[in-house]
């Protein structure tokens, strides 16, 4: 039965209506998905971190298996325990200095901010007290609003020590089995899809995993270069708290674009209160130089090749992630967008990694009819 009013409705309106209800259904599905992710946030974050660690440790496991001839389970155990030992050792060696330094670092940064305000009032700009109070008030309101969003987002992920401990255990457990039996897990997941979609999903997933691995290794390298550059600059200029500053820059650099700029500003403020405006300007110059190296050399050559995202897309992803889930959202926004970009491009006929091939010798079957788990190479 046809709609008697269809002839009087313009085709453009019918097309818009068809698009509208489909967009509404997609939006409702995404809203439900985000609600589920927020409800199971501890599990989601733990599994996400485990995936990143598994991608990072996969070359180590492969080296131990292929070169050292370790059994796979032993290679995975050595890699995971080695990572834990490295993190514990790093925290033990640098932890006291960093923990003691961050308190002083905050005091130095606040003192530097106060000194900057005094210079704006008494210096060549000669801003009036009313103007300064207005600007400081606007900045304070902005910082309060955004910091509460970020902090609440971070605290909403791990609200108690118990959640942190549970998340850490889940992360280590998942990391071990992702490394030891990731192919079987992936084969089972792909087997849940309709038969006609399994091949494309498998190939898209392999390419997404390559993108994720490239992002993880590149981001660690970029953060290390930022931390070393600013830390060495602070040492040369005899700025106090160089080690905590370098550690702060290393952690902040994992939030692309925004993190390194903010932490570098803290270094300039510390230099201002400790050594005066000349050294502060030199420290700011070091920060800007490191950012130029990152922005014009490391990001285009390394990160651009790894994730193929425009800087505008990176900035918008970080902003959206921070608004949606605070610090955790900012950390995971770029790798998520990078993987989605690779997967969607492949499903639409653009293969970023043609060297991976089609891998047609794998027979992906549904788990219900599998006679045994089947390993799918990544």
CB 3 within 8 A of CB 17: no
Task: Tell me how far the alpha carbon of residue 333 is from its chain's centroid.
Answer: 6
User: What is this structure's pTM?
Assistant: 0.70
Name the maximum alpha-carbon separation found in the chain.
83
Find tokens 């038969």 and name the residue: 195
CB 207 within 8 A of CB 343: yes
Report the sign of the C-alpha dihedral through residues 18, 24, 30, 32, in that order.
negative
Q: How far apart are CA 46 and CA 48, in angstroms?
A: 5
Reported as a single tens digit per residue, the pLDDT across 9-46 is 788 888 898 899 999 999 999 999 988 988 888 899 89
CB 275 within 8 A of CB 241: no
* Higher local confidence (pLDDT), 295 or 199: 199
Say yes or no to pLDDT of 277 above 50: yes
Reported as a single tens digit per residue, the pLDDT across 185-219 is 999 999 999 998 999 999 999 999 889 988 888 88
Reported confidence tier of residue 366, pLDDT bands at 50, 70, 90: very low
Read off the pLDDT of each residue in 338-351 and give the average, rounded to a whole number.
90
Q: How far apart are CA 190 and CA 198, in angstroms?
A: 6
Angle at 378 between CA 33 and CA 51, to 5 degrees: 45
The tally of CA atoms less than 13 A away on the side-chain side of residue 57 is: 28
Reported as a single tens digit per residue, the pLDDT across 211-237 is 998 888 888 888 888 889 988 998 998
* Higher local confidence (pLDDT), 1 or 197: 197
Burial class (CB in 10 A: 0-12, 13-18, 19+), 242: buried
The number of beta carbons lying within 10 Å of the beta carbon of residue 371 is 6
Q: What is the three-class DSSP state of 273?
A: helix
The number of beta carbons lying within 10 Å of the beta carbon of residue 168 is 14
DSSP conformational letter for 94 = H
């Amino acid at each position: 039965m046809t709609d008697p009013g269809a002839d009087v409705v313009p085709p453009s309106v019918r097309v818009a209506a068809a698009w509208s209800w489909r967009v509404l259904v997609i939006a409702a599905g995404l809203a439900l998905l985000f609600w589920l992710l927020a409800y199971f946030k501890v599990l989601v974050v733990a599994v996400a971190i485990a995936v990143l660690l598994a991608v990072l440790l996969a070359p180590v496991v492969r080296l131990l298996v292929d070169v050292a001839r370790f059994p796979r389970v032993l290679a995975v155990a050595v890699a995971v325990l080695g990572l834990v030992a490295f993190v514990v050792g790093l925290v033990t060696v640098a932890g006291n200095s960093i923990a003691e330094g961050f308190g002083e670092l905050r005091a130095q940064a606040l003192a530097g901010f106060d000194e900057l305000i005094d210079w704006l009032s008494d210096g060549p700009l000669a801003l009036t007290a009313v103007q300064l109070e207005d600007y400081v008030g606007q900045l304070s309101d902005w910082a309060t609003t955004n910091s509460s969003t970020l902090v609440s987002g971070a605290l909403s992920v791990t609200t108690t020590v118990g959640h942190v401990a549970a998340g850490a255990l889940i992360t280590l457990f998942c990391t071990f089995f992702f490394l030891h039996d990731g192919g079987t897990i992936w084969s089972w997941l792909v087997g849940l899809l309709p038969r006609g979609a399994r091949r494309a999903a498998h190939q898209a997933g392999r390419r997404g995993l390559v993108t994720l691995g490239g992002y993880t290794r590149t981001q660690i390298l970029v953060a290390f270069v930022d931390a070393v550059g600013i830390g060495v600059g602070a040492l040369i200029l005899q700025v106090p708290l160089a080690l905590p500053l370098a550690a702060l820059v290393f952690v902040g650099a994992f939030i692309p674009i925004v993190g390194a700029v903010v932490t570098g500003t803290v270094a300039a403020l510390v230099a201002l209160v400790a050594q005066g405006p000349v050294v502060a300007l030199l420290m700011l110059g070091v920060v800007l130089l490191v950012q130029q190296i990152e922005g014009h050399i490391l990001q285009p050559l390394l990160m651009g090749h790894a994730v193929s995202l425009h800087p505008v897309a990176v900035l918008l992803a970080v902003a959206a992630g921070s608004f949606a889930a605070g610090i955790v959202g900012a950390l995971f926004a770029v790798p998520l967008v990078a993987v989605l970009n690779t997967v969607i491009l492949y499903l639409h006929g653009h293969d970023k990694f043609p060297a991976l091939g089609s891998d047609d010798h794998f027979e992906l079957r549904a788990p219900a009819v599998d006679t045994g788990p089947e390993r799918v190479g990544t």
